[in-house]
Each structure stands twice: as C-alpha cells, then as structure tokens.
Structure 1
Amino acid sequence: MKKLSEKGIEYLRKKLEKHKPRVDLRYQHYDIKHHERNIGITIPPEIRNRYRSVLGWCAKGVDSLADRLVFREFENDNFEVMEIFEQNNPDIFFDSVVLSAMIASCAFVYISRGDNDEVRLQVVEASNATGVIDPITGLLTEGYAVLSRDEYGKPETEAYFLPYRTDFYFGGSYVKSIESNVAYPLLVPVVHRPDAVRPFGRSRITRSGIYYQSYAKRTLERADITAEFYSFPQKYVLGTDPDSEPLDGWKATISTMLEFTKGDGGDKPTIGQFTTPSMTPFTEQLKTAAAGFAGETGLTLDDLGFVSENPSSVEAIKASHENLRLAGRKAQRSLGAGLLNVAYLSACLRDDFSYLRSQFVLTKPKWEPLFEADANMLTMIGDGAIKLNQAIPGYITGETIRDLTGIEGGE
C-alpha cells in the first residue's frame, strides 16, 4: 500500500531516466570516449575525422584528487562498524565510492544480507540509482536502483527501497519483498560537495573543464593537420616550357635533385617554396587551454604535462596545490558524512535493531593526509611537537602526529 508521502517507483524510474544521460556523458569524458562535434569552418569534415585527437584531462582532474582521498578508519568506533567494511574488500570499496562520487557527483551503496547472514556493501553508480533525499540527515526516504541490465541496456533487475523493506522487480514485474528492522531505505547516497540547491552534489568534471578539454582537442587536431604541410612544404616552379612533360608532384616533394632545362627562348624556370605555417600558435593555444583547466581543477601545468625545469620539493608542491588541498578537505567532509550513514545502516542491519542516528554522533571518519610527508616535513613537525609539548605537556600525541604525517608509529 503506497503512502501519501511516497513518490512511487514509477516516479523514480522517470527521474533516473532523466538524469542518466548527464551521468553517462561525464563517464564518457572520464573514459576518454566522447567525440566532439565538428564545429570548424575551414577544415573539411572528412579530413578532420582522420585526425581525431584524444585527451585525458578530465580523467586527470578526477584522479588527481580521488587518488589522494584514502580512508583510514572510524574514530570512536563504539559499534564496531569497521568490521563490516573489513569484510567487504575495503581497499576496493572505498576507492570505488570516492571515484564514482567524483565523476557523477554522488555514488550509492546498496546494503544487503549475504547467504551467511553477513552484511554486504555494493557500490551502485549514479547512472543506475536515484532516490528522494532528506537534506537534514543525507539519507533517502525512498530509493531506486537498477541492479542489472540486459544486452540492450534496459533495466532487468530493479530494487525499490523503502523503510523496513526492499521490493525487487524483474522485467518490470514485482517479484518479492525482503523485510528488515531498519527505519531507512537500505540505499545510501555518498555525495560530493552537496548544497541546498544541489543536494546530490556536484561533479568534479565541470562544464568549464569539459570546455577547456574540448578546446585543447580541437587545437591538437588543427596542429596535426597543419603538421602535414609543415613536414612537406608546398613548392612551385615558374617559367616552365608548356610543351614539357607535366611535373610529378609527389616526386618533386620527396626527390633530392630535380633537373629543369631552358626553354626555346633561353628562359630558365624559377623555383620557389611557399612559407611554411608555424606550429608556435598551436603550442600557445594548448598552453592557454591547460592553464584554464588547471585553474578550474586546482592542478598545475606540471600535472598536465607542461613540465617545469626545476623539480619541486614537497612543500613547493603543497603550496602550488593549495586549491587542490582545499577541495580535498571539503571532499573528505562530505564523503565522510555519507560513509558514516553507510556505517549506521549497516550496523542496524547487522544487529537487527534500529539504532537512533544520534547514537553515532561520536563516531568520526578519519582520512590519511592529502600529501605524504618527506624527511624535511617530518623534521619540522618533530620540532614543532617538541616545542608545543614543552608549552602544554601532552598537547601533541602520537595520534596527532599520524594525522599530520600518515605514519603509524610504535605503541
């Protein structure tokens, strides 16, 4: 029996169908499989299609931050939720959640019971799941996920998530329901950078980043076509005898020596070469696009392949990636809230008891440092810790040092 507050599975099916193309577009940009439209006015389409360029800046913009977000543990784990994650291949699970959320703005975690009554966690990308979110708790009031599709991409196995139960459909027809003692749907969103306007977050692949990558790809295509004329400059011959044999253009291009005889009037031909186009404007255009993309994503030109002459220290790298560090700290806060919701509902399902969400307020997600410490940084932190502990005994502990450096010391 459908409640008045429920939207229903048909509503969620249409909602997923509406948002799926935009998610698929961002996955295409990440997988470097998106083909740009031919918008040039000077190069014929058949020539441009021969020089299709491929560029992975969007993937670089995602991976450069996602690879730095390494989940460590839950602090004050009073409900022993880390045991649940340890049983679900955490090295792959956490990375998969973070990467999917970076690409599509959010990822979903489907919580279920296994054959041996263990709690299973499955990551479902945003192109196959949606729901109605509670902006206060970050949990869903109802959810929908496509668990499998047929060879034509149509939904085959579907799940409709409600408080205390999950309904399953196959081929569009209802199959069964599985009851639980959990007061929320067992589909949890893990959202990247949510706000009041976009509760399901924002993607790391922005429209501006897509534009700069497209601009750079068009520049590479033009440069590649121009390089053909740059490699083989066009030549010309003036004053040849009209009765002479036609000149073979390909032979004239690749031959090391050509012979031209005087005409009947004693005139000799004039040989010339057209000015070759310069490749410099394309290099400058590509660097301009790289600078725009780097500013959009918090990267540097070094990250995009424009290597500087002098190698940078860890401190210099951190200083140049200040925007990336701030984006990483923000991502840790938003993604950590989603992972805590996953831990909360997983504990409810494991213990077959509906805990209050307020009971998990002391449990905090902890992440490894965004930048690994080198020897110089360890020395500076050590000196600072000594001075602070001299001023306030016991202020800096081993756990504090680990949070700063990522190095786990002795007991």
Structure 2
Amino acid sequence: MKGIAYLQTKLDKKRTRVLLRYRYYEQLEGYQDLGSLISASKAQEYNSVLGWCAHGVDFLADRLNFTGFDNDVLNIMDLYKQNNPDIIFDSAILGALIGSCDFIYISAGEDGQPRMQVIDGANATGIIDPITNMLQEGYAVLERDPDTDRVLVDAYFVPGSTTVYWRSTPQQPAHSQVFGNVSPYPLLVPIIYRPDAKRVFGHSRISRSCMNLMNKARAAIARSDITAEYYSFPQRYVLGLAQDTEFDKTKASVSSFLDLRKDEDGQYPQVGQFPQNSMQPYMDQIKTYAQAFAGEMGMTVDDLGFASSAPTSPDVVRSAHESLSKTARKAQRTFGSGFLNAGYLARIVADNYPYQRQAIAETIPTWEPAFDMSASQISGIGDAAVKLNQAVPGYITPDNLKKLTGMDGSAQNAQTEV
C-alpha cells in the first residue's frame, strides 16, 4: 500500500492537467498573446472564444448511450436504476472524455442499499490493478470549499474499508470514521477513456494538439476582428495639398464627399484610396485549422459549422465518420468494463456478501448503435435478416436486431405472439 499521503500528492500533480481540460471544455481559457505587433490590452479586448473542444467531446459523448447488461446474473442494473442511471452514465462518460478518467464512489445508505456517486478525475485517484482494471487503493475528495478550494471532506479506500476524514472547520473539529465492508476491492471504481500500458488512467479527448489548434484559430479570429476595426473605413490620401490648407482628418475619414479647391497655380490636389484589407485570408486560415481539428477529433468540417457546397446523403456522412465510429466502439468497451465493475461492487454492498469476480464473467454491457441507421441501411439489414433466418432459422432475433439498428423489436414480437 502506498498510503493516503502518496495519493494526495499524486492527485495534486494530476489535478492541474484535468482542470486545464475542463477550462477548454467550458470555454473559460483566458486571452492569449497575439504577438509583438498587438499589445496585451488589445489582445484582451478582442479575446475570442471557440467551442470546438466542447463540441468535439459532446459529439462523441452524445453517441455513447448505455442500455444495460446481457446475462445480468447479479441483477446489477436494478441497483443502477435506484441511483439515477441516466445521470450516472452520462456524467461518468462526459467526465472521462474530458479528463481521461472519472470515478464511481460506492457507499452504503441508511437503508443498507448502495449509493453511487460520480467523482471527476480532478478529485480522485488511486493505484490501479492492470489485470482487473480496478483499484488496489484509492483516494477521493468528497467536498471542497467553493470559495477557497480547500478540502473539507475526503476519503481513503482500501479493500474491506473506507475511511472518511472531515477536516477542521469553525463549526466542527477534525475527525474521521471507518466504514467497513466485505468487498475484495476498494469501493472506488475508475471509468477510463482509452487506457494503455503506459497511461493506465487513459487519455483525454481534448489532446494537446486540439488545444493548440483551437488557440491558433482563436488568434486568427482575434486578428481578423482587430483588422476589421482598423479598416472599417477605407484609408484615403491627398497629394499636392497646400501647406496652409485647413484639412479636418476626422471629417475626411467618415465623409463621402471631400471639398478640395485649386491651389494658387490652378492645380487640383490628387486624391487616392489605399486598398481595403480583405477578410478572406483570415477565413482561409481559420478553415485550415478547422480541418486539422476535425481530423484530430474524427469529425468533418461540416460538424464545426463550415458547410460544404454540395449536400451529402446519410450514407456519405456515415462514411465520413467511420473513424469516429471506431472510436465510439473502443470507448464502449472500456466504459462498459468500468460500469460492470462498479455494479459488481454495488451488489456486494447491497447483499453484504463477497461475490467472486468470476460471477460477472459472462455479463456483457450493451450499448445503442453510435449512429442512427438510415432508411436504406435498415432496408438492407432487413433483407439480410430474412435470408439469414432462411438459411439458419432463428439466427437473427429481436435482441440481435436491437444491437444492429437500435430498434427494439421485443414489443412487436410480443404483439405477434398474442
């Protein structure tokens, strides 16, 4: 065991990185330096905000809809239904995509039933078991002072017990309490996005490349705003104006008519206009960054608001999002494993019995398809299902059909049987 002090230090190092991703997701990142030609005050005045990182995260999160478990021998889904599953699943998925990892904290309520709470990656950490993807020990901050960010309540998790610490406040002295359990694992379960052998707590969807590209696009927008401000009116010039001529530059800059008289030699001054600055180079630059950002996120520039000239069919859109579809399936596997682990520990708390982990070996998390099926695809699947069932009777069932298309055929099947 590393101990609570080690985990507290580990969380402090990781917290800065996670909070940075949240600032980009919430579009709270401050102004940036626009170079030596633009002052800091001017850069702050024309600071731009882009929601690309938030859109890139939501674009995937909205397609990850957890539906339950197949072969749910421990009735895990019943425990989730008692703990607002719509909020738990969506909150854990969104937080994991932003910060690479979220945690589900499990405790026993007053009635003995398990309570499940999502804790973001900036407030929890642990030592992970690479075999089971569960923690060997964990630490979480359960409550912070909203004004000072000071820790008020935190907890240390080990197999068989959870120790909760209440820090000293004007209302109460510091104290702690140990809550025992029969679980073979700590009651803190990681929900991880894209883990690997080096970074066992995964990777954030808001990568360094995404943040860099969005910063460049923000800078291009700010420069275009500054340019538009300075070149709102065309700049004119006058050659050959007598030195003693009274000339109001302010009126000349906003007036559509200039009254210039002949000089003593009977010559007219030469009036001209500088070419007006074009916004097109800035738009091209922003679109280039959008294309690079979309490539990083598995999206298209249409998804970022740059509409293509020709309309696209659903099949073409689905083909363009093929990389995102693979990313979604990969995320479903890792998130499903985390939800299964959390449900397994919740069942142990509910029954107060240390089930072996092999009891859930055949339980499979299920998800809705990441993309809605088009009419042509549904028709093609229907024809294929008929042919398959003719060749192998009963091969395509309502459950298989739901996995392929997201359409639940159980109700129609029940009506047919009646």
TM-score between the two structures when normalised by the length of structure 2: 0.94
**What letter is aligned with 1:252?**
A
Q: Which amino acid aligns with 1:223?
A: S
Q: How does 1:63-212 map to 2 (within 5 A)?
A: 63-150=58-145, 151-171=147-167, 173-212=174-213
What is the number of residues matched between the two proteins?
405
Query: Which shifted more, 166-175 or 102-111?
Result: 166-175
Task: Give ranges in structure 2 of 5+ residues lacking alignment.
Answer: 169-173
Are the equivalent residues in 2 in contact too, given 1:229–1:277 (CA < 8 A)? no
User: How far off is 1:134 after superposition?
Assistant: 0.5
Alignment-mate amino acid for residue 366 of structure 2: K
Cα offset for 1:231? 2.5
Contact map agreement 1:36 1:214 (CA 8 A) in 2: no
**SS of 1:182 mapped into structure 2:** coil
Aligned to 1:57: 52
Matching residue of 2:8: 13
Contact 2:103-2:188 within 8 A present in 1 as well: yes
Looking at structure 2, the residues matched to 174 and 357 of structure 1 have their Cα atoms a distance apart, in angstroms, of 34
The structural deviation recorded for 1:388 is 1.3
> Which deviates the most, 239-248 or 299-308?
239-248
Residues 289-335 of structure 1: CA deviation (Å, up to 9, x unaligned): 01111111100010011111333222211100011000000000111
Tell me the equivalent position of 2:219: 218
Decide which moves more: 44-53 or 190-199.
44-53
Corresponding residue SS for 1:325: helix
Two-structure CA RMSD over aligned residues (Å): 1.2
- Counting aligned pairs with the same residue, the percent is 47
Post-superposition offset of 1:240: 1.7
Residues 40-86 of structure 1, C-alpha deviation per residue, up to 9 Å, x if partnerless?
12222222221111101111110100100000011101111111111
Which TM-score applies when normalising by structure 1? 0.96
Q: Which 4+ stretches in 1 moved above 4 angstroms?
A: none
Deviation sequence 1:168-198 (CA, Å, 0-9, x none): 1122744111111111111100111111001
The 5-angstrom pairing of residues 301-340 of structure 1 reads: 301-340=301-340
Q: 8 Å contact 2:31–2:44 — kept in the other structure?
A: no
Q: Secondary structure at the match of 1:237?
A: strand
Aligned amino acid, residue 149 of structure 2: G
Query: In structure 2, what is the Cα distance between the partners aligned to 1:301 and 1:327?
Result: 18
2:405 aligned partner = 405
CA contact (8 A) 1:167 1:178 kept: yes
- In the aligned structure 2, how far is the partner of 1:178 from the partner of 1:310? 62
Deviation at residue 36 of structure 1 after TM alignment: 4.4
Work out the CA distance in 2 between the residues paired with 1:130 and 1:343. 19
**Secondary structure of residue in 2 paired with 1:354:** coil
Give 1:228 deviation, angstroms.
Answer: 2.1
Q: Does the 8 A contact of 1:167 with 1:174 survive in 2?
A: no
Instruction: Map 1:317-396; keep pairs closer than 5 Å.
Output: 317-396=317-396
Secondary structure in 1 matching 2:303? coil
